[in-house]
Structure 1
């Protein structure tokens, strides 16, 4: 059985014994610091070699030794179809670019979805750092309009020899706070509470 001591190392923390979580965590912390936000209470959970809903078909894993036979889910396709206000994809091997994407997602007023490609050096021998490095390219390096929904659909469906990363889609739709007039309000935890109103509310229910 694997013990906690098996994961301890005298090496400085510049790597991850499983997936690319360290790069993602570091980029996230960097983005939060640059936005003057405290990088606290961050949790990253990783698997142990099992197939995921986004695993490619025929991929052999510990839980699917004969290969995955269900087509992979495409969360970015669903996000663009749902008119998500910001849809992006980043790569854990490019921390600077990933930090930029996370900052844009945090600053975005509406719902943001950032798909992060992270190699699993322990179990995935196919989608390696080299595999991604040979395929990923930044959409902003060419002529690309993230507000064009048709082009965004084409980008999120692109996978294989070329994989686009960057801000793939931006929507002009208003956020929930803008529509309801709640924009600029303090978070609930920072608002003054009215104890008498709350006690009356409890009585109405109980």
Structure 2
């Protein structure tokens, strides 16, 4: 049979070879897809971590600017502008609310930083309060609560002596986490009050 001889000489792929090649190709393809997805997840996680760090740095910048201004007044230079009922330039309540007062554009400003309902809140007001604790409500969220939550906020106030002059030093700890828990950040900042 001349036709049968021609078929056996044509060399092509056998069914077994084709099956093995397809299986290997699928394994390599699934490995590449897995690596691509893992890389994408790592990039998203890193991006979330960086955004979290940037938001916290913005909050630190705002807080440190207010602490530097705390107690400033033009009416009696050298004497800090205190809150009613406060003994220090920056008052720390039992609930870790940081309250300060300073003069800005000829008007007294009261600033309060506190944690409420998983948010770091800040209140800026020209009102006068009979006690510093009253300023620790009704503020606005300082960090974006749509994708992060504040898991910790602690403020500690200490006094110190520098060249015979008493001063106030603050230690502020802020812990935040993304809502899905994939990124966390815990930072502590030490601040010295300029107008103690």
Give the TM-score normalised by structure 2.
Answer: 0.23
Query: Which structure shows the bigger proportion of residues in strand conformation?
Result: 2
Structure with bigger gyration radius: 2
Q: TM-score, normalised by structure 1?
A: 0.22
